[in-house]
A and B are shown apart, each in its own frame.
Chain A
């Protein structure tokens, strides 16, 4: 309890508090603009946090993450354009509600549901995270090696449509992670006699390129020259019927449970949580036929589910150092750029920081209630009147300034551009980008763990498999890789027969 009391006091100081408020508003704004997404926004933000207090930096990440998950509902409801992939399920009933003149009501339900889901998820993080971290204190280098490999394998096979390409992307990330001077032997690897490569490729530079440039190029391809008209963004206020609000409570409880469960699983994201929550609400309803025609329960389930995924996805990231999704990977990056090593030791070495971040996830969810109301929504919706072609150079400039200020090296701009173009084409050929970044983050941990384990066992590789936990993790890794590949092969065989 003292863990959270100390963290709570720190989080309510001026810096983190203003960062949470500002970032939640910024998050709603980013989510509301189709083409921008929380991953891109956090990637652009990270370089600027180098000189900040880590709690302020993490407050901004928490605010943008939670705020944007709600913000994505604004265009999903008003225009049937999901602001983020996680708000696709919100369009099913949100837009029909807006079509019936109930846009403001749908937005209010989305706002409350996002806040409820976010709060439930933060509570799960605050209770399960420290428990899991305590268990992992018994882990040695062999277990850490397998945890890193298990995390990458599960993300590799689950995030894309093709498990082989997902694993290939993870191995590419691992290989990029070996660039630079080897910490254990001092050997320079893949540096091509370039001094700027001795420290390896900067994670944030590659991350900004991979995650910000492809959406910018896609925005340019769409070449939106007009933006939206004022008439498209007009909201009518329709009051709630008696008991309508209370009827949402069972949906919120169900969707929160689903979102938390999905969040803990590596590789599954907010969109899956939203779809599962929506289907569960439809199956539990007395009137399933009304779903898709403007049922408020549909909006509540989708929005509560996608926000309930947020903080829960941080559980494996903070407790094990294994990010379950890209935003969790970005949080780990934020920790590493402040010299902090993610994993169970973080809970003991920096309890205020870990507890503070958990509190920030909770408080930014509460802030959605206060800041995401109809007035703010009306204001943010107006930004959709800006033509998309004007956003393209603006984001490019933010990318360049963000990357340049990290090391003050022009060469980083070229690396970012190359990573972005590679990311654009890799996405087009169904190679997911998240495993590349996870490989870069977890690669050094995996390599150091396996080499330490082999040093301890004097080169006996069976040590990696004979300890009970490491053996279980190794089996789980093999199953995680084989299961989707076997499923894909069976599907292909069945399709061939048909």
Chain B
């Protein structure tokens, strides 16, 4: 398991290094030398990790993900959240995340989750919108109501 992971890791880094060195050949003068050298060193180190893993006789078990279902669920919901922050608005998307993610991870106390979500979102609003006056993605619901009025 560990051996296979290290072979893939080494190949990935070696590929990345070669690609970077190759791209650096197109840069003029000294601005290309530095990234080219770095790319070649990265390729060498990646190659060294791969060769070491191939030559190593033992392969210890090393789980890449401890709880795949929970990790993938969280990663997918986080990706959806990042994708929805701009179209839905920051507060709407964040409030939905506060409710959806704990439920997806098995939390069944809806009222508890709702109270924590409300308190947390009010705190975020007070800190970022009132105190620090940071511009955040506009709420789609507000635009919808405004256009309706």
Q: Tell me the total A-B contact number using a CB cutoff of 8 A.
A: 164
Stretch among A31-39, A67-75, A217-225, A309-317 lining the B interface: A217-225
- For B13, the chain A residues whose CB sits under 8 A away are 168, 172
Minimum C-beta distance from B1 to chain A (A): 11
16 contacts between A and B (CB under 8 A): A167-B45, A171-B17, A182-B31, A185-B30, A187-B28, A187-B31, A223-B105, A393-B97, A393-B98, A400-B82, A414-B82, A417-B79, A428-B62, A429-B6, A429-B9, A429-B62
By beta carbon, the residue of chain A nearest B43 is A171
Stretch among A334-342, A353-361, A401-409 lining the B interface: A401-409
- A21, CB-defined interface residue at 8 Å: no
Main secondary structure of the interface of B (DSSP, over half): helix
* A184 close to B107 (CB less than 8 A): no
By beta carbon, the residue of chain B nearest A450 is B34
* B41 close to A171 (CB less than 8 A): yes
Contact flag A405-B45 (CB < 8 Å), given A389-B106, A417-B78: no
Please report B residues at the A interface, Cβ cutoff 8 Å: 5-6, 9, 13, 16-17, 20, 23-24, 27-32, 34-35, 38-39, 41-42, 45-46, 48-49, 52, 62-67, 70-71, 73-75, 78-79, 81-82, 85-86, 90, 94, 97-98, 100-102, 105-107, 112-113, 116, 120, 124, 128, 132, 134-137
* A190 close to B74 (CB less than 8 A): no
* A410 close to B30 (CB less than 8 A): no
- For B38, the chain A residues whose CB sits under 8 A away are 171, 174-175, 178
Task: Choose among A48, A171, A389 the residue that contacts B107 (Cβ–Cβ < 8 A).
Answer: A389
Minimum C-beta distance from B39 to chain A (A): 7
Main secondary structure of the interface of A (DSSP, over half): helix
By beta carbon, the residue of chain A nearest B102 is A389
In the bound assembly, the distance between CA atoms of A94 and B94 in angstroms comes to: 39
Report the interface size class on chain A.
35 or more
* A168 close to B45 (CB less than 8 A): yes
Please report A residues at the B interface, Cβ cutoff 8 Å: 48, 51, 164-165, 167-168, 171-172, 174-175, 178, 182, 184-185, 187, 189-190, 213, 216-218, 220-223, 225, 386-387, 389-390, 392-394, 396-398, 400-401, 404-405, 408, 410, 413-414, 417, 421, 425, 428-429, 431, 447, 450-451, 454
* B120 close to A221 (CB less than 8 A): no
